[in-house]
Structure 1
Amino acid sequence: MLQLPESPCMRKLVSVEDAYELCRQITAKYSKTFYLGTLLMNQQKRRAIWAIYVWCRRTDELVDGPAAEFTTPETLELWEKQLEALFAFQPLEDPDVALVDTIQRFGLDIQPFRDMIAGQQMDLYRSRYETFEDLNLYCYRVAGTVGLMSTTVMGVDSRCNTASWSQQKIPDPTPEAVTLGIANQLTNILRDVGEDARRGRIYLPLAELASFDYTEQDLFKGVIDERWRELMRFQIRRTQEYYRQAEKGIGYLAPDARWPVLASLMLYSQILLEIERNDYDVFKKRAYVSGFKKLRYLPMAWLRSQVL
């Protein structure tokens, strides 16, 4: 069972600079595509995003990591208490030092972090989702929340705040940020169907499997036939629509945040095309975007970001 770490008064924690460097290393190791996008941000913003990413990863690993079998509801309750300590500016572990600094600099709200923990709680007792509405709630909690956390760091276009005399509503990018998080999670689900199946989990809505006459047994056997291809085409089209909706909010962000966010969106959505190129075999092949393709998309993303 998770226990709260000893007080920092009893154990000296690393400096703020070292904590951010630790977060950078973890982000670069475990999420290469995401990390590449953060390098396009200014230093203050990318370091904040690394700190947020590491907390999210640590939260996810409580349920999906090497020690997940020992995680209980009480484990997550203790993790939430540790979260509350962070928002009281009391870091308990080395990576926390960076997140506390980020919380102070950007005034982050604790609720998206709490919602993410609630998403991990869903993974403790659910291995199936009957409808897309059920799955959408899960996707919001484990990934849409990241959009809320990140938007606070990215900031909005300051020109939107100078038009107080206008009757026009000030644009708010947070709904699109949530949508982008959900799109990323749906992409993860499609990419990881085989991996999740080996753990006894099915995230694709059961009602949608049934509508394509594809069974749980077919999925566990890794059956790839026209039923499966049609089901995956349907899933990919919907996820692509989420990306299209998310892109509409990028123009509301602060100008220096548009290129990295758009680049990340473009790069991550390419995983869907790789799934198609693999003939929808997500059981034996892992869809990924090569380093060459990632670099090729960066100038394209920059050009598009200039006209948003």
Structure 2
Amino acid sequence: MSTRLSQRVDAELDAAGITDPLLRSDYRISRDLAREHGRTYFLATRFLPPERRSAVHALYGFARTADDIVDDPSPEATPERKAAGLQAFSDSMSDPANAHPTVRAALHTARRYDLDPALFTAFLDSMRMDLTVTEYETHADLDRYVWGSAAVIGLMVTPVMGTVTSVEEASPYAADLGVAFQISNFIRDVGEDLRLGRIYLPQESLRRFGLDRARLQTEVVDDDVRGMLAAEIDRTRAIYRRAEPGIAMLAPGARGCVRVAYQLYGDIMTAVEQADYQVFGPRIRVSRRRRARIAGRVVADTARSTLRGGRATGTASRTPPAS
């Protein structure tokens, strides 16, 4: 890590009041995971106040570590070993001294922001589903999965962001946004997930266009595949529209972060369309130029809002004391 980057991380941890050396190391590990694997997520966190970034990185690190256990591609990672690894990861939440660093960072964040332990339980329940469930019959079935795998992440992050309304009022919008982000990934990653043995887009959607697992495994993008993906994109964009009013309910300092994420995750679907729905080849990505343009626009909008004194009415949630 460069000296400049190390100093930046130190400044974030100092701003958050995290002084314990072990915890600082734990948070650094979570940050590194977000920086390496969650490019869109990590870029968005740069728009958070420094004292809140480490908490969002901790929640990402926790989720990423569990996901990596489930998706371990190595030959020795049998379903039984994955199940045992995930159980050990879950059990370590009651034994922080011997837990994975991302567990310690997440538990510390949960204490600081008074996060409901049931949210972590729901997330791990969905991760267990990935060990045995390879497809979903209906959108309602998929909704049960994404509640734990994505909606609860939005619910965890909302108290960290701070709100100008009550957290309870903002939470349904945050849950919807978490779901929209994840389904955007499902649409882009049809080929990757299929190679892992999973189909997340519901079977009822596939059947509507005469598709099934065998057809997808040919990795041929024809009009039926295009039609199915286009319909799922339309449905997911409706979830984004439903979630968007929640951005204004966040603390002013957090809105830029969520606005960047909202636009970039939404752009994943646009990139799929522009790539003619070629979801079986190399991963489709939002271009660097587009990412930079969105980030620059949010910076400019934030600066204009600050100059105008443009803040929503209400009081943002305070930053909790360090512990």
Return the TM-score normalized by structure 1.
Answer: 0.85
**1:139 maps to 2:146:** yes
Which amino acid in structure 2 is aligned with residue 156 of structure 1?
T
CA distance in 1, matches of 2:298, 2:141: 33
Match of 2:169 in 1: 172
CA distance in 2, matches of 1:95, 1:46: 15
With 217-226 and 58-67 compared, the bigger mean Cα shift is at: 58-67
Match of 1:79 in 2: 89
- Cα drift, residue 177 of structure 1: 0.7
> Cα distance 1:22–1:74, how it changes in 2: closer, same or farther (>3 A)?
closer
CA contact (8 A) 1:194 1:284 kept: yes
Of 144, 148, 152, 2:155 maps to 148
Which amino acid in structure 1 is aligned with residue 30 of structure 2?
C
- Cα drift, residue 136 of structure 1: 1.3
CA distance in 2, matches of 1:25, 1:285: 24
Query: Can you list the C-alpha shifts for 1:12-34, whole angstroms capped at 9, x where unaligned?
Result: x9522222222222211111111
- Cα drift, residue 178 of structure 1: 0.8
Of 195, 199, 202, 2:199 maps to 202
* Alignment of structure 1 residues 57-206 onto 2, 5 Å: 57-66=64-73, 68-69=77-78, 70-86=80-96, 90=97, 92-157=99-164, 160=165, 172-206=169-203
* Alignment of structure 1 residues 46-65 onto 2, 5 Å: 46-65=53-72
Of 261, 279, 283, 2:280 maps to 283
CA contact (8 A) 1:15 1:97 kept: no
Which residues of structure 1 form unaligned runs of 5+?
A: 1-12, 162-169
With 198-207 and 76-85 compared, the bigger mean Cα shift is at: 76-85
CA distance in 2, matches of 1:144, 1:205: 18
> Cα distance 1:303–1:175, how it changes in 2: closer, same or farther (>3 A)?
farther
CA distance in 1, matches of 2:103, 2:89: 12
Give aligned-pair identity as a percent: 33
Which residues of structure 2 form unaligned runs of 5+?
A: 1-19, 313-323
CA distance in 2, matches of 1:82, 1:57: 16
Question: Across the two proteins, how many residue pairs are aligned to each other?
Answer: 283
- Cα drift, residue 60 of structure 1: 0.9
CA RMSD between the two structures: 2.2
Query: Can you list the C-alpha shifts for 1:4-56, whole angstroms capped at 9, x where unaligned?
Result: xxxxxxxxx95222222222222111111110110111112110000110000
Q: Secondary structure at the match of 1:224?
A: coil
Return the TM-score normalized by structure 2.
Answer: 0.81
Of 255, 258, 265, 1:258 maps to 255
- Cα drift, residue 211 of structure 1: 1.0
CA contact (8 A) 1:14 1:97 kept: no
CA distance in 1, matches of 2:230, 2:102: 40
CA distance in 2, matches of 1:132, 1:99: 30
Which amino acid in structure 1 is aligned with residue 46 of structure 2?
L
CA distance in 2, matches of 1:130, 1:93: 35
CA distance in 1, matches of 2:159, 2:88: 26
